[in-house]
Amino acid sequence: MSSIIASESRRLEGSIQVPGDKSISHRAVILGAISVGESKILRLLEGEDVLATVAAFRTMGVQMSGPRDGSLKINGVGLNGLTKPASPLDMGNSGTAMRLLAGLLAGQAFPATLTGDASLRQRPMERIMTPLGQMGADLTAADGKPPLAINPVSRLKGISYRLPMASAQVKSSILLAGLYAKGSTEIQESTPTRDHTERMIAGFTGRRWEPGSPIQVKSGLILRGQRITVPGDISSAAFFLVAAVLCPGSDVTLCGIGINPTRAAVLEILNLMGANIEICERRQESGEPLCDLRVRSQGLQGIDVPRGLVANAIDEFPVLAIAAAGADGTTRIREATELRFKESDRINAVVEGLGNLGISAVEYEDGMDIIGGRFRSGTIDSRGDHRIAMAFAVAGCCSNGSVVVNDCQNIATSFPGFVETGCALGMHLVEKL
């Protein structure tokens, strides 16, 4: 699709499942590939980002069956069983795949190059190159941006590293490199970030991850194939949470959503704004907590977003901005500079887009102020950013008219079937080529 036309929607209702969590899907493929024995992944996200990770490991000699209907079988080759790729590995639009694979490939006995689409080639890689360099890795990239060339070294060394920014991607890249390093690799965080890698490494090595435990890996670990059920992606669920809150008379249930404590800040923020969200049927699968979320329409109030919640809601801020625009009063977001280094400069893209729809918003270096109002009709340039596109599609459903969102092809990177899922709930969404 190239455009979405989203128009005023009244009552949303029904129960749906959203695609599997993208972050967990990437990690399941990576760890399954370097494990001993077979892994089976269920509810894998079959979006373009994850498929790029699958393709990369196939290129490096890992045999896989699927994915088909969310099911993928992986015949793991062990830590040292990957083979040299014949050409650069194209990670498409996925910063997660590039940064995680950089850590993994830094410990291999062969050279490799990671590249991606035009957007990914503009994203900064110094944040992983610095700690991996301290481990002895040999990585080069012009101006710190992809393509990223990785050359083999005799042996990586374990380090103790304090993250200068809150980034689960950087943390995971270092931990994956640590699997190949001599000694122990340990990471300190000033702000806890999503801990999917820690949980999953523990599962593949027959251990249990306890939140708050030291974040470290040691040489000599053996990973063994696992059966993993991927929970629904809370980042994908957030679009329908906000749509149901803002569209009058709505009552929607989202089934099987992951609520890892390091990912649930979006729920805390919406609840602080006054959202009516009920957590039902708490349970745990494959080391991850999940639940069903029932959300009903409710008037919202603008808030000062607590700074301690920002890092763990960073992917949800495009749609949280739509919630803020539909709230009474002003919402203030700070310490969110990381939004400028996503698939687009999301601070600028959100503020510009809201202005196009008649909402007052002020841009700051590390965030934005949004004054609640009523969406009018307009046209949005999503800048090829999947989350910007879906967020403004939600805005169109909450408008007095209709909103045209252009450049929507990259929605397929994280949420294939977004339009069909929204329509099943009663959202008025039309795709245009």
Q: What is the pLDDT of residue 302?
A: 98
Between 206-215, 284-293, 404-413, the lowest mean confidence (pLDDT) is in 206-215
The residue-averaged pLDDT of 428-432 equals 94
Cis peptide before 147, with omega less than 30 degrees from 0? Answer: yes
For residue 181, the surrounding DSSP H or E stretch is strand 181-182
Domains 3-20+231-432 and 22-229 share a fold: yes
Q: What is the pTM of this model?
A: 0.92
Distance between CA 164 and CA 168 in Å, rounded? 12
* pLDDT single digits (tens) 41-80: 999 999 999 999 999 999 999 999 999 999 999 999 999 9
CATH 3.65.10.10 assigned to domain 3-20+231-432? The reply is yes
CB of 64 closer than 8 Å to CB of 75: yes
* pLDDT single digits (tens) 125-140: 999 999 999 999 999 9
Active site residue 143: no
Copy the structure tokens of residue 48: 């373009």
Q: What's domain 22-229's superfamily in CATH?
A: Enolpyruvate transferase domain (3.65.10.10)
Helices and strands of the chain, counted as H and E runs: 13, 24
Domain extents in the chain = 3-20+231-432, 22-229
DSSP assignment letter at 343: S
Annotated catalytic residue, options 90, 292, 315, 381: 315
Q: What's the order of all strands across the beta sheet hosting 89-90?
A: 89-90, 112-115, 148-151, 138-140
pLDDT bracket for residue 1 (50, 70, 90): low
Measuring CA to CA, which residue among 252, 254, 209 is closest to residue 231?
A: 254
Distance between CA 422 and CA 303 in Å, rounded? 27
* pLDDT single digits (tens) 345-365: 999 999 999 999 999 999 999
CA 25 to chain centre: 10
